[in-house]
Each structure stands twice: as C-alpha cells, then as structure tokens.
Structure 1
C-alpha cells in the first residue's frame, strides 16, 4: 500500500510542487536521514538562532520524530510525508549531512550544502574496493548511487585539507569532474562548541543535565559501525570485543564509562548489571556534549578521533580487529598505526593497562602533529562562515552565477 501511495499520490504531488516558485527564505535542515537533531546541520541552525535569523528566514527541520525539542522558530516536518515533499520542492537551500532519497530531484536554482559528518580514516564512496553493507547488491551499484547523489551537491563541507583532497576522489568533486561545485574547507560547525564552550562551568552543567557523576573520571567509548555486522539495511549491530565485566571490575572505583552508539547502530542491550558504571546514549544525543563531559576517549576507526583531538585529552584505540577491518572490510586512507596519538590495544586487558599507566609525555609530539594536520580549521567560527555563505546564496541567481564561473574558467 505504501508503495502505491508513493507512486500514484506523493511523487506526482512532488512533481506538481516543483512547478511552484522557489522561496529564497526557505532553508531545510536534516541530520542522519532525519533520525535525530545533531551534527553540523544542528550547529549551523543554532548559530542562526543566536543571530536571530530563524525569525527572518523560514527554517524547516526534517525528522522522524517531530516531538524532538529544537530551539528557535522552526517547523518540524516528518520525513516522506506530503509536507516533506512540498518544502523540499520549494526550498532555496538544503543543509544535510547524509544522503537524501534518490527519487528526490533537486531544482536547478536550489543550492544543496552537504555538510558531511566526519574526517575519513576508512575509505568511502568511490574509493571503496568492496561493499559489505546491508542492502547493497554490489560495488558497482553502490558507487553509481554515490555518484548520482553527489551530483546533487553544490557545496561540500570539509574539516581539513586532508579531507578536502579525499573528497575530490571519493565523491568526484575535483574541479575537473565537478567544475560548478565547491568544497568549503572551513572546519566543522559541530566542533565550534569544543572551542567556545570548553569551560568548567559549561561542563558541570552538561553533567547535571546528562546525570553524569562528578566524583569520577569519565571514559567515552564511541566505536564505529562494522559494515558486515547488521540486522537489516541501515540498522547495524553494536559489534565489539570489549569485556565490560572486566572493565567494571578493574576501573569502576575511579571511572565511569559512557557508551555512545553510532547513529546507524540500534541494539536493545541489557546494561542493568552495570548500573552506576555504564551510561549509554543513542542517536538522539549530540556527541559533542559527550566529548566535553569526558576525560578520555576510547574509539577504534571512527572519525570521532579527529573531533576529540581538539580538546587535547587522552585517546585510546581499541582495535581488536585491526587487520581484518583494514585489509578486508574497508581499508584506510592513512597509516593509522603510525599516526594516531595514543596507545593501541587489542584486548580489554591491554586497554585497562594503557588507561591506568597513561603517560601523556609519550604522545605529545604525535598529538601536536595530529592536531596540526586535522584541527587547524576548527577555530570555533565554522558555523558563522557557513551562515555567511548561506546569506549570500539565498538571493543568488544560481544559473547566472554558474554561467559567470564557466566564462571565468574559459578565460583561464
């Protein structure tokens, strides 16, 4: 029935809506395919609220749960409903951090700002050699879908020069392949808070809001997802070799641990045996707040390392499946073993030893080099830079601007 409604009612309606004039003051935001309110789109929007722009522009948030609390003056719209298609058809600017449905065609005068959601360590997009994700038939189909989706993007946000170079190949975004498109190497808006709000007062308030104790050190465990560990399409398992019983036995007197699921991971895990030691947060919790309240990070191949390093706090790398992940599942863009500024462990016992015996002096040089390479653009002003561009774009005649650019390229 849903397919019939979509084919004979919704999609024809979207085609009709596309004939209506664009609204230059209409901006649509979406994070993680509507699953939550977080990431770069959230922090761009909240800077707009600070500047009072939410009262001057019409801001739409696409969400699966329209009861989600969002500050400012915004309209919350459920994904894939009639209103969703209406506003998608009429908005001058889209601000998304993941891909949008393939049947949604962007209008020529609409600007699509793809903020993306992390500096890539593991290979992605057109650079991938294999695909193990749920629902993906083969690597050729996957790459074709990635390419077609990235043709909609007008601007792609990058955290650093390293990412910018990778995005050129992973999303065919080089000047040769995409002359009318642009990568904005501004740093990430979601990291502005790590620069601007890294204060004891703000951190204590966050701990109160999140019910995190203040009398123990806080470990944040934020692993990535495994492409081949899934329940169904876009729903992945919490795959880990971590021994939480051992962690509790050896660390609970001095530490608590926050477990942050990746937004693609959905598991109903019974944590009742770890009361007052393990605190879990799902996709609806903005991880930037968890960075701030934690004293140390435990991760693996996740891009969280490139954000957390802004805080210059200890990082531990629990890479129990390093060889298989690197050589069989995804592959890496850099030599992770040589570059990361913290100890690598393959067992929980090794991790505990690393945590208890951590000496920051052993990693100072690596940490400084890591931050210089990945965090130079994260200066607390990325959201403002994006908004400045948004205000320019909303009244820009896109086709005329592209024509001028083409003429400039011919002259060169």
Structure 2
C-alpha cells in the first residue's frame, strides 16, 4: 500500500502518554508547518484515549491496535516513536521510522544486558527482539557521543544516526528563565514554592509482585527529610509510571506532590535540587548545571546483579555527592540547606555537562521537523 505523503504517526512510551521527544517534535513540526496538524496523529492505548483527548483537544488521536488504527499506521509516511513497536506489526517499506529513544543510558541496554530479569522473557529472546526492532529504524537520535556508541552496540544498530541532542531538552534552553519557571509553578501548584526538591528514582526490574505489577517504597523518612531541609521546601516525587500508585505520603500531602504524568522537563525547570540514583534524568538535568544528590541505597545489588552500568558509577565521576546510607543522605541534605549548593562538585558538574550535554543546543526539534518536511532527506 502506498504511504500518504506527509502523514506522521507519533507515539510515546507505547501509547501510554503524550510526552518526551515525540511531543517536542510534534510541536515543532506544527510550528514550522501549521497545516501539518491535518496529517499528524498520536497513537495511544485505548485505556488512555479519553483522558488524553481531554488534555490535548487539538491533537488527533488514534486508538492503538484497533482496526481504525491500522489504516493510519500502515500508510504513515513517518513513524516518530521513543520505544519499540511490537514485532508482529510489520512496517510498510515506504514508511520512515524515526526512533528518538528516551534517555542517555547509565544502565545496560538491549543486547548488552547479560541476564534479563523480566518475567515472561528469556535473555536470548530479549536480545533478539532488540536486534530485530532496531533493524526497522531508519533514523536513531543520539543525545551525545557516549549514547551514540552505546546504542550502536546495545541495539546492533547500523542505520543512520541523528547526532543532534534530544528534542525534549530544547525547552531547558528556551524556558530557563524566571517568567517561564514562575508560570510552571503556578500551573502545577497554584502558588510559588521558594524551593523545589525533586526525587526521581529509577525503577527496579526485579521488584515485582507478579508479571506487570511493580512495587516501590520510599527509601527515606518524610518527617526526617523535612526536618533537614528549609521550611519553604516542596518535595516533588517523580516515580516511574509503573509504581506511581504505590507511594505512601500520608500526613505530608501539603508538602509532597507525586507527579508521574507531568512533562518532566517542566519539573526540571522548577527544580532547585535533584535527588536520584541510577535514572537517566541526571543526564538531562545536567543541561541546567544545577545541584544533584545521588542516593543509590541498593548500589551493590543493582550494579552487580540486576542491570550493570556502562560507566564507573562512583563519587569521583558523579556530578554531585553520593549517599549510600540513610544517615549520610540526611547529612548531605542538611549541608545543602545551609549552603544552597555543593561547591566541592562544581568541577564535576561542569565536566559531566561537557561530556553528556555538548550536543544539546535547543535546536534538535527543529532539525527533526525539517527532516520530516523534506521527506526524510538529510541533505
């Protein structure tokens, strides 16, 4: 079947949301060519269709894996997605697949994972699924040279790279100003918190009660946390979507906000201190050159048994202090409350920014938009 020229199907996280690199590219494409709205569609899970349609009334949605979805996905000129498509769906040979992916990898990916701990999938099957999927990608966006090299290995990818930085990070350059930050705070909270600390941990592949159901318990006490930070501090918890309903903040609802569905770049912009562990949020947040605190409370297990890391994850290489134990975590928080920064880690942060953010310029979305408008031609 011939493709419909200029038509684009976008998809974020297997249709669970409208976000990330695909949304940034979609917005830029409509800015560059307003008539493109008639040719652009977001593929979403049927269970999310009503909510997302209400949130984004101007976007044309198609329900994933329904008969109506088929006529769009089968004849799309472009697919723009940040995760894998099911192996059973065959891509039209005339469709150009732009794979944006969804983060700079710290943890092992794809073929590089020696032992897969995901229920219902063997290691060999998991590896082959990645290889087969990557063979369908016509373009793969890389945010930095480090990621470029890893993607090539982990996906066995031999196609065309777009070494341009992440489109989703463009807003960290255009929106990093007092007016934009104040507007985001007002929209999210209805007031202007003086200090925002965000806790954004990764998810644990092996922490599940049954297939598809994951657990998560906060690794610190909220009362102790607020005892160490300034009285004006608001804590934002950004959990993985698989565990967003499993976090207990009873008694602290006024000072803690669980925001799993808000565009994380908006959260970066309002965050004064990021607390994370092994999540790739560290690489994106580094664009802002703001303080980070690392709390890898299960480091030995995660690094050595579960996923493995691509680089030496230690105090010398991280762009902020690391706490392995809860007592250390509270002590570092107290230090931040007094100093407002981690002065001993400014050099680390600058080096980290140079390594992982040097391709970021605030123009990645524009480059992908122009690629689409030129019919997939890079020249």
Please state whether the residue corresponding to 2:146 is helix, strand or coil.
helix
The answer on 1:370 being equivalent to 2:355 is no
State the distance in 2 between where 1:385 and 1:225 align: 32
Residue 238 of structure 1 contacts residue 267 of structure 1 at CA under 8 Å; is this kept in 2? no
Write out aligned runs for 1:75-224 (5 A): 75-136=60-121, 138-173=122-157, 178=158, 181-211=159-189, 213-224=191-202
State the distance in 2 between where 1:375 and 1:235 align: 34
The answer on 1:40 being equivalent to 2:18 is no
The answer on 1:66 being equivalent to 2:49 is yes
Aligned-residue offset at 1:352? 2.3
Aligned-residue offset at 1:271? 2.3
Aligned-residue offset at 1:79? 1.2
- TM-score relative to the length of structure 2: 0.92
Aligned-residue offset at 1:223? 0.5
Residue 197 of structure 2 contacts residue 275 of structure 2 at CA under 8 Å; is this kept in 1? yes
Q: 1:387 to 1:235 in 2, by over 3 A?
A: farther
Measured against aligned partners, the alpha-carbon deviations of 1:253-283 in whole angstroms (never above 9, x if no partner) come to 231110011133342434231121111112x
Between 255-264 and 319-328, the greater mean CA deviation after superposition: 255-264
State the distance in 2 between where 1:315 and 1:164 align: 24
Match of 2:286 in 1: 309
Please state whether the residue corresponding to 2:204 is helix, strand or coil.
coil
Between structure 1 and structure 2, the one with the greater Rg is 1
Measured against aligned partners, the alpha-carbon deviations of 1:74-106 in whole angstroms (never above 9, x if no partner) come to 310111111212211010100000111121100
Aligned-residue offset at 1:238? 2.4
Match of 1:405 in 2: none
State the distance in 1 between where 2:219 and 2:273 align: 19
Aligned-residue offset at 1:377? 1.0
State the distance in 1 between where 2:370 and 2:26 align: 12
- TM-score relative to the length of structure 1: 0.85
Write out aligned runs for 1:322-341 (5 A): 322-337=299-314, 338-341=316-319
CA RMSD of aligned residues (A): 1.9
Aligned-residue offset at 1:237? 2.2
Q: Paired residue for 2:12, among 13, 20, 31?
A: 31
Please state whether the residue corresponding to 1:383 is helix, strand or coil.
helix
Measured against aligned partners, the alpha-carbon deviations of 1:346-386 in whole angstroms (never above 9, x if no partner) come to 23332222122134320111111100000011110000011
State the distance in 2 between where 1:233 and 1:53 align: 43
Measured against aligned partners, the alpha-carbon deviations of 1:144-195 in whole angstroms (never above 9, x if no partner) come to 111111111111111101000001100001xxxx3xx111111000000001
State the distance in 1 between where 2:35 and 2:213 align: 33
Aligned-residue offset at 1:70? 6.0
The answer on 1:278 being equivalent to 2:256 is yes
What stretches of structure 1 of length at least 5 have no aligned partner?
1-19, 402-412
Between 260-269 and 369-378, the greater mean CA deviation after superposition: 260-269
Measured against aligned partners, the alpha-carbon deviations of 1:176-225 in whole angstroms (never above 9, x if no partner) come to xx3xx111111000000001111110111100110164243110000010
Write out aligned runs for 1:186-265 (5 A): 186-211=164-189, 213-251=191-229, 253-265=231-243
Q: 1:243 to 1:272 in 2, by over 3 A?
A: closer
Residue 185 of structure 2 contacts residue 193 of structure 2 at CA under 8 Å; is this kept in 1? no
Aligned-residue offset at 1:242? 2.3
Q: 1:118 to 1:239 in 2, by over 3 A?
A: farther
What stretches of structure 2 of length at least 5 have no aligned partner?
none
